[in-house]
Structure 1
Amino acid sequence: MKLEFYNCPKSEELNSSILPETPEFVSYKPNFELMEKIADEYKNYKNILIIAHGGSITSFMGMYFALKYLANKKAYFLSTVDPDYIQELKDTLRSEDTVVVSISKSGQNMTQIEMTGHFLDYPLVFITGKNSPLKEIADRLKAKVVDHPPIGGRYTAFTEVGLLPAVLVGLDARALFAGGRTFLDLYKRENLAWKMASVMHLLEQKGFVDVFMPFYTHYLFPMANLIVQLCHESFGKEGKGQTYFAHEAPESQHHTNQRFFGGRKNICGIFTTADSFNNQLTTNYPPSLHSVQIKRHALFDVSKIPLEKSLESEAIGTKEDARINGIPLAQVSISSFTPGEIGKLIAFWQLYAVYASVLRCVDPFDQPQVENSKNLSFDKRLQFKGLL
């Protein structure tokens, strides 16, 4: 992993005394033997359906799509009560070849229970807290239950919440965990996550309250949901914090670059790139097309360029334009699509969220404004039933 800055202030030095005691997610050790035993029980099933919200689904989603080429089973994701999508999943996935994993720490989210309720005739594994409604449902169904660790969802990537689904689809969960540990072990020492948290905090103080996040890699883009949650839920509090909006690039160049370069001057950037890809493709044009003119050159002049160089060129072009225009940006790049490197990337963002919270003097681990809308939506259900 690499981190570079352009048009940015210099990061402050880390003063470890301002940090909370080592958080549970930093020191947690998952039960690999249990996860591998469960995976062996379901080894003949070819599909996994994950039902969850927030960090309970986005951590594994980021892992899965980044490492999909290594998986030996297909993963599907459900985090909505959209009836059309649920019916599509039921039409696609058969109970004979699909394991459903329902994950919720509190086990009290009504949409979690509603989503799960449509798959009760499938093999079910629950990851939830003790004495929760979801746990009671699991017990009454005599389904398998794994205890949810005492860690908030957005920080659970390296627990059974993120790693059991990884094991179920055949990913190397131990390598993911080991990659994450290389970053988490640096919690109280100078590291890349601290540097970026410090720089982004300084930029916020200068009025840069919007953060544009283009992902110049298709298979890392699903990680955006986890990153946005880590940022918004951890330090978007007490009138503080930046707004992070992510787009897949270079598609974003065809819409959000206009905002980035031409809109209000309160925006900075965090670009995500990869140094290498799993497939090496080069664009070759037949001789009949060589003389086609594009930007005062023949098409032949830009033939036989590896696609990873083309993607790199797109990122560099936007980055260089930002540098010329004085727009601050950071670039996060991974070296390869391996479990260890993806583990590092997730841990980087977990620590970033904690450091960014501490710098703004807010609690990294609560989300006080999230619960009220859930209570209101539950009341609306009662009103529909004439019970309120």
Structure 2
Amino acid sequence: MNIEYYPKIKKNLLEKDINTIRDNKKNWESPFFTDTEAFLNLNEIKEISSQFTSSEIENIIILGTGGSIQTLLALKHLSHKNIYPITSSRAVELQNCLEETSPNDSLVIPISRSGKTLDVNSTIGTFLERNYPFLGLSSRGTMNELLKGIGAPILEVPDLSGRFAASITSVAIVPAYIAQIDINKFLNGLKTGYDEFMTFNKNRSLEFASYIYNLYIKGYKVIFSMPYSSNLEGSVGLFVQEVSESTGKEGKGLMGTYQEAPLCQHSVLEYLLGGTKGAVLPILWSIDKEDPNLALHSSIKYVDGKSAQEIVKYQADATFQALLEQQVPATKISIENPSETQIGNLIAFIQSTVYYICLLLNVNWANNPKVNIGKQICNKALERNLPAAERKKDREKIAQEKFKGFFE
């Protein structure tokens, strides 16, 4: 993995941040996610999953959202099965999945640590009534009881922060194993990464966290990621979730967002180059040796014969240079290839970096206390069968109270 960022962080700032990280780590939960063995029973996983690894299973339908699915999305391109991520009851995706799969060639894996996730529980019945086979990942709650009632096998999910835990627990490893992704190579990539990054001494992850933090102090509150390969979009999605959900509390934090590249060069780049300065940090993500790749045939002489991904890499480098010329701090992160080992290493880098940023901000990296506000509002409205007009009235009343004199 290669990380190129500008402007370079000064030595005195980095040394100061290393000391802050060391001082603040005692304030919060220890980083459990560096242990790639303690929360996994690979023998049990392989034994229970063995009934679903035959060639007859062509489709794996994942009912899960947030941390329950994002790590698997980072590995999705390595799957030898068709993976259908159903993150909610959005009708288009749900209907498409039902049309393209059947109970005879598919496995449904609902994932919810609490067993109470609305996005999961609202869709289980749709597959249950059509007699799809299930393998549950849950430890308690409504979902757990429902799966027990139909005699479905269930593997427990440890009570850990989901977005950081998936890569080292059944949450990502079970569906990855059934999808014939090499989980051993992935876990080895993770471990190698943590051995390098989680030292609390100067390393690439800690240095990058210091760079982001010092930009944050200068007013940069949004990180806009530009993945120049679809094979990186799952990993970038994990970064977006972790940096937003982990740092964003106590009135502090960074907002992560992304759009695929080079598409974003034709939508967001004008703002980055010519718009408000000092607010957004762009990160370009690329792969050195893409798989698959193909040669291009073009009437443009300097394009003809080059590979498809080579052209994209030229575009990424040009965009990076353009940002620097306009005095926009920017970063380019590259991995050698999109293999299990490299993705594991990248996820270790992402999680280590976000952890360090949280320590620099001195916020709890593992929790997300405000997320439940919206969930509670939704559940109460559903229980009361509250019409849309009444829901709007509630919003108007709240807004009138909370934003009184806002534009005065």
Pairwise same-fold verdict (TM > 0.5): yes
User: Structure 1 counterpart of 2:14, which letter?
Assistant: E
Q: Which residue of 2 aligns with 1:18?
A: 24
- The CA deviation at 1:119 is 1.3
- Report the Cα distance in structure 1 between the residues aligned to 2:229 and 2:110, rounded to whole angstroms: 29
Indicate conservation of the 8 Å contact 1:22/1:187, yes or no.
Answer: no
Query: Where do 5+ consecutive residues of structure 2 fail to align?
Result: 388-408
After the TM superposition, which residues 6-155 of structure 1 pair with which residues of structure 2 at under 5 Å, given as runs? 6-10=6-10, 12-13=14-15, 14-15=18-19, 16-19=22-25, 20=28, 22-29=30-37, 30-44=40-54, 45-65=57-77, 67=78, 71-120=79-128, 121-129=131-139, 131-155=140-164
* Secondary structure in 1 matching 2:167: coil
Query: Where do 5+ consecutive residues of structure 1 fail to align?
Result: 290-298
CA offsets, 1:22-49, max 9 Å, x none? 4222225211112222332112211110
- Report the Cα distance in structure 2 between the residues aligned to 1:84 and 1:182, rounded to whole angstroms: 40
* Secondary structure in 2 matching 1:282: coil
- The CA deviation at 1:21 is 5.7
- Report the Cα distance in structure 1 between the residues aligned to 2:306 and 2:194, rounded to whole angstroms: 39
Q: Give aligned-pair identity as a percent.
A: 26
Q: Which has the higher helix share?
A: 2
Q: Which residue of 2 aligns with 1:170?
A: 180
- The CA deviation at 1:236 is 0.8
Indicate conservation of the 8 Å contact 1:103/1:126, yes or no.
Answer: yes
* Secondary structure in 2 matching 1:101: strand
- The CA deviation at 1:8 is 4.2
After the TM superposition, which residues 285-324 of structure 1 pair with which residues of structure 2 at under 5 Å, given as runs? 285=298, 289=299, 299-324=300-325
Q: Which residue of 2 aligns with 1:216?
A: 228
User: Structure 2 counterpart of 1:138, which letter?
Assistant: L
Indicate conservation of the 8 Å contact 1:105/1:152, yes or no.
Answer: no
- The CA deviation at 1:172 is 0.4
Structure 1, 27-36 or 171-180: larger mean CA deviation: 27-36
After the TM superposition, which residues 192-341 of structure 1 pair with which residues of structure 2 at under 5 Å, given as runs? 192-265=204-277, 266-285=279-298, 289=299, 299-341=300-342
- The CA deviation at 1:180 is 0.4
- Report the Cα distance in structure 1 between the residues aligned to 2:241 and 2:257, rounded to whole angstroms: 11
* Secondary structure in 1 matching 2:384: helix
Q: Which residue of 2 aligns with 1:296?
A: none
- The CA deviation at 1:116 is 1.4
- Report the Cα distance in structure 2 between the residues aligned to 1:53 and 1:9, rounded to whole angstroms: 36
Indicate conservation of the 8 Å contact 1:8/1:329, yes or no.
Answer: no
* Secondary structure in 2 matching 1:368: coil
- Report the Cα distance in structure 1 between the residues aligned to 2:373 and 2:240, rounded to whole angstroms: 20
Indicate conservation of the 8 Å contact 1:212/1:267, yes or no.
Answer: yes
- The CA deviation at 1:331 is 1.4
- Report the Cα distance in structure 2 between the residues aligned to 1:221 and 1:261, rounded to whole angstroms: 23
- The CA deviation at 1:224 is 2.6
Indicate conservation of the 8 Å contact 2:69/2:85, yes or no.
Answer: yes
Indicate conservation of the 8 Å contact 2:64/2:87, yes or no.
Answer: yes
- Report the Cα distance in structure 1 between the residues aligned to 2:291 and 2:148, rounded to whole angstroms: 44
- The CA deviation at 1:348 is 1.1
Structure 1, 248-257 or 182-191: larger mean CA deviation: 182-191
Indicate conservation of the 8 Å contact 2:36/2:191, yes or no.
Answer: no
Indicate conservation of the 8 Å contact 1:215/1:221, yes or no.
Answer: yes
* Secondary structure in 1 matching 2:334: strand
After the TM superposition, which residues 359-374 of structure 1 pair with which residues of structure 2 at under 5 Å, given as runs? 359-374=360-375
- The CA deviation at 1:282 is 2.2
CA offsets, 1:161-206, max 9 Å, x none? 1111110000100110110011223423333221111110100101
Indicate conservation of the 8 Å contact 2:110/2:135, yes or no.
Answer: yes
- The CA deviation at 1:89 is 1.4
Indicate conservation of the 8 Å contact 1:7/1:327, yes or no.
Answer: no
Q: Which residue of 1 aligns with 2:198?
A: 187
Residues paired across the two proteins, number: 369
CA offsets, 1:202-252, max 9 Å, x none? 001011112221111122123232111101110111121122211111111
Q: Taking structure 1 as reference, are residues 124 and 331 closer, same or farther at Cα in structure 2, changes over 3 Å only?
A: same
Structure 1, 262-271 or 181-190: larger mean CA deviation: 181-190
* Secondary structure in 1 matching 2:84: strand
